[in-house]
Chains A and B, each alone.
Chain A
Amino acid sequence: MNPTIQTLLLIQGVLVGLLTLAGLLVWVERRLLALWQDRLGPNRCGPGGILIFVADGIKMFTKEDWIPPGSDKPVFVMAPAIIVVTALIAFTIIPLAPGVSILDLNIGILFFLALSSMGIYSTVLGGWASNNKYSLLGGLRMSAQMFSYEVFMGLSLMGVVILSGSLNLHDIVKAQSGMWFVVPQFLGFLIFLFAGLAETHRLPFDMPEAESELIAGYHTEYSSMKFGMFFVGEYVGVTLISAIIVTLFFGGWQGPLLPPVVWFFLKTMCFILFFILLRAAIPRPRFDQLLAWGWKFVLPVALLNLIATGAIALARGN
């Protein structure tokens, strides 16, 4: 097959797969939350209620598309698109199977970090453009949160880079054929997990939304599919962070018996489920606690981890 067509098909597959997954996650999340709360969750629409995401979709598309009169219109419209687009683009570098990824960049990690920080424009701009105090507070929280956690997100990955000696994700996956990096880089993994949570502003780190304080934070004024885009963006983001964790710390597509794609998918799903479990179990900290914890605890630990990893790598002499 022509490599261009191959790539195009791959793009098509990833896009459809991701968006379907995002939709399905709506159902998965609600059913799982119900499961952990002794309820049933959506169970009426389709088998096991799975068609709820179709119903949700219809609802999203048919709701009144409202743009507040005082808003900055172009920015207001653009904001929800940014989050979806950046999250989707970041997916291009994820190795789904040996040699299978849309892009094979040798600066893969940097590309991921760059795009994930692009994503916050969506929330900050959305919050600002709404011309609403709650939205603006949400946006501001997002930027502050991102500032803090972006730093050690990068730092936490440096250990992996040192161990694998490459920024290319394919190489990193291959480097874990002996041992998953989660073992030597357990601290790095934990730090990245926190940073990822903060980055996707999932519970318990969803201060930019914080419905009990800010109504719905940055997307208070959003309705219809614009709100839907934020929604999809969030699920794609969750999937992305899970995929990155799997790639960097849990051996990517590597695994016995089953085909690599399946391994990759299963591992990613595990983390998505873990994210949902976190939402079900852990309450939201106060915003200042979140920032203080990030700067005063996680950052030093990340630096220590980097120094230790570097020292060991030096000592081993490779």
Chain B
Amino acid sequence: MFSMLKTLWLVFKHAFHKRVTIQYPEEKAYLAPRYRGRIVLTRDPDGGERCVACYLCAVVCPVDCIALDSAEDRHGRRYPSTFRINFSRCIYCGFCEEACPTYAIQLVPDVEMAEYNRQDMVYEKEHLLINGQGKYHGYNYYKVAGLAIGGKAKGEAENETPPVDPKSLF
């Protein structure tokens, strides 16, 4: 009983505390650099698309709001021919970013993406792809992958020896 009275008193005292409300359009909240907001597709340090259309973001998405289709360019680099996020379904959980093996998909601190028309919440690749590396600098997936692409032959990735000649004995 006494604890209830104490509770009442404590809660009542809150009337004189500082307000935590941020009056949004006039004041802006501080969003940390790793805040999970709008989703972007980034590029590697050489300006190439980081996304290799591995479909991991799509499969990990709990609301299934990512759809993409893969294609391959003439250098053997795989890329998404379409990449669509339905932000009217997105819950900004960040699983896609966690699943991404190439740092391509990233959530950035931008939350101002409300629309009057729900259809406008569907973002295509051209809306998602940015001209930068986003939060993670210096990573280039193809530099560590074993796959040969245009400009990087077998054995030229980090931590690789030159290709073996299978016809030699040793």
On A, residues with C-beta under 8 Å from B are: 34-40, 277-278, 280-282
Contacts and interface: CB of A to CB of B under 8 A. Distances in A.
B14 A282 contact: no
B34 interface: no
Interface of B: 4, 7-8, 10-12, 14-15, 17-21, 23
Contact of A277 (B8, B17, B20, B21): B8
B19 A38 contact: yes
Contacts of B8: 277-278, 281-282
B54 to A, nearest CB: 41
B4 to A, nearest CB: 6
A39 B12 contact: no
A287 B142 CA distance: 61
B21 A40 contact: yes
A36 B15 CA distance: 5
A268 B11 CA distance: 21
B14 to A, nearest CB: 5
8 smallest CB-CB distances across A and B, nearest first, come from: A281-B11, A40-B21, A36-B14, A281-B7, A35-B15, A39-B21, A281-B8, A38-B17
Contact of B14 (A37, A40, A278): A37
A40 B15 CA distance: 10
Contacts of B18: 38
A34 B19 CA distance: 9
A39 B4 contact: no
Nearest to A280: B11
A282 B7 contact: yes
B19 A36 contact: no
Most B C-beta atoms less than 10 A away, residue of A277, A280, A281, A282: A281
Nearest to B5: A281
B12 A277 contact: yes
Contacts of A35: 14-15
Contacts of A34: 21
B14 A38 contact: yes
Most A C-beta atoms less than 10 A away, residue of B10, B11, B17, B19: B11
Given A36-B12, A38-B14, A39-B19, 6 more contacts: A34-B21, A35-B15, A40-B19, A277-B8, A281-B12, A282-B8
